[in-house]
Structure 1
């Protein structure tokens, strides 16, 4: 594991921010949220509460802030945290364009510095959920939530990682990495599309960590590419993702 993941990932997202502006604009403008690489409608997954009026919500690793925008539209008081100042510049511009009153904070989702028990709901879609060590960001999410508060996060399914070649080329039907002892992957020096340092765990290790941290599991979802899908997204071919889960969603509740 690369211990300098924070500065590496900050640099990756600052350098790549311009390439996410158009995506951010499209997602901010959606009438109904869509999730993950294949844009699965929220009515099929229910990641966000339908009515978030009077809720304090936080997005951990918000990027261009579209999930924060969706929550604000549903009535929540929203805080978005991200390590990339360049991504947050886009988020603030799009929030202003859409008239969304959201507090955006440049900071590390592993240690936000925000008050204890300040939020009713926390969410991460490809933010802290994959770019931060799970034990660190989950402990912070637990601290930020009020007792009974909910955390929902979406990220790569562990199977998509072990089926991804070590050179960064698209996933295939061969196992390229051990499942036992999985921690994630360092993509900084791969041959194809180098990025940063991402994190993942085996399913049983996720479950053990939730228990240790103080979360109950309310629901678990495995996401596939829809039948209409074609091509490759984020190094995952649609033909692979129709047969094997490409993403996972955990719905958790803070104990006590």
Structure 2
């Protein structure tokens, strides 16, 4: 039923009330390990997306020409998505809760001559004025590290009528096939799909870290409808056939058969 999903999310988020500080500390501690990755992505001629580098030519997550658009990246991390939007002539604001990630973003943006406003803050409550942006995006930022009911309502508030939101995060299948100890995903189910809310990875010994959020597809749809977003497109991402190895606790062979990530394209009605 429409309206039930937000309540469920709030109940589950309350189980880990310090998720924002947990995730902030985790990303501050891990920031140095993402500098080379950030430099590589900032330097790309064309954007690639997600864990396995699916191409912008295939996915079309960004408008080709963003001249005159005011855009915001929610949970920007090292800011390379903001850099891609700046290159497409958008006026870009980027917000992240991690000071260390932002330090990397600012340093690389300066090297590239990018004119981006970086803000240290919570993407669930930015403090920015209503209806300030034409386009919003999140790739593994607010899209998984913030409570969906909170950050999506904030994105709605920030967008002008007719504004678009695009966000990329883990596909529900990648979570329910991941062992609870954080070891790589397997070809079996390890947790219930029904009433999915996400996962607390704070005590695992393997790669996943912090508290991440995810929902069943029907719960995402209910939440969008409750807020007022219209879904304009939905994409499921797989690893390209030439990829090998394991990334972010997902083996390539698994990700060639099952969607590892999902992309939602939303629009705030006029």
What interval of TM-score do these two structures reach, taking the shorter chain for normalisation?
over 0.9
TM-score by length of 1: 0.99
User: Which of the numbers 20, 26, 35 marks the counterpart of 1:12?
Assistant: 26
**1:132-171 alignment, distance < 5 Å:** 132-171=146-185
1:255 aligns with 2:269: yes
Give the conservation status (yes or no) of the 8 Å contact 2:208–2:248. Answer: no
Aligned to 1:35: 49
**What is the rounded CA distance, in whole Å, between the counterparts of 2:220 and 2:269 in structure 1?**
16
1:3 aligns with 2:17: yes
Give SS of 2:257's match. Answer: coil
- In the comparison of the two structures, how many residue pairs are matched? 256
Deviation at 1:143, TM superposition (A): 0.2
**What is the rounded CA distance, in whole Å, between the counterparts of 2:70 and 2:191 in structure 1?**
40
Deviation at 1:193, TM superposition (A): 2.8
Structure 1 stretches of 5 or more lacking a match?
Answer: none
Aligned to 2:242: 228
1:105 aligns with 2:116: no
Give SS of 1:122's match. Answer: strand
1:208 aligns with 2:226: no
Listed one character per residue, the Cα deviations across residues 103-130 of structure 1 (whole Å, up to 9, x for unaligned) are 0000000000000000000000000000
User: Which of the numbers 136, 139, 143 marks the counterpart of 1:129?
Assistant: 143
**What is the rounded CA distance, in whole Å, between the counterparts of 1:207 and 1:14 in structure 2?**
32
Deviation at 1:203, TM superposition (A): 0.2
Moved over 2 A (4+): none
**What is the rounded CA distance, in whole Å, between the counterparts of 1:164 and 1:3 in structure 2?**
23
Deviation at 1:191, TM superposition (A): 2.7
**What is the rounded CA distance, in whole Å, between the counterparts of 2:207 and 2:194 in structure 1?**
26
**What is the rounded CA distance, in whole Å, between the counterparts of 2:264 and 2:21 in structure 1?**
27
Give SS of 1:26's match. Answer: helix
**What is the rounded CA distance, in whole Å, between the counterparts of 1:200 and 1:179 in structure 2?**
10
**What is the rounded CA distance, in whole Å, between the counterparts of 2:141 and 2:205 in structure 1?**
24
TM-score by length of 2: 0.94
Deviation at 1:194, TM superposition (A): 5.0
Aligned to 1:51: 65
Listed one character per residue, the Cα deviations across residues 140-189 of structure 1 (whole Å, up to 9, x for unaligned) are 00000000100000000000000000000000011000000000000000
**What is the rounded CA distance, in whole Å, between the counterparts of 1:25 and 1:190 in structure 2?**
29
Deviation at 1:195, TM superposition (A): 1.1
Listed one character per residue, the Cα deviations across residues 212-253 of structure 1 (whole Å, up to 9, x for unaligned) are 011000000000001001000000000000000000000000
Deviation at 1:132, TM superposition (A): 0.4
Give SS of 2:183's match. Answer: coil
Out of 187-196 and 75-84, give the one that drifted further.
Answer: 187-196
**What is the rounded CA distance, in whole Å, between the counterparts of 2:209 and 2:117 in structure 1?**
28
1:238 aligns with 2:252: yes
Structure 2 stretches of 5 or more lacking a match?
Answer: 1-14
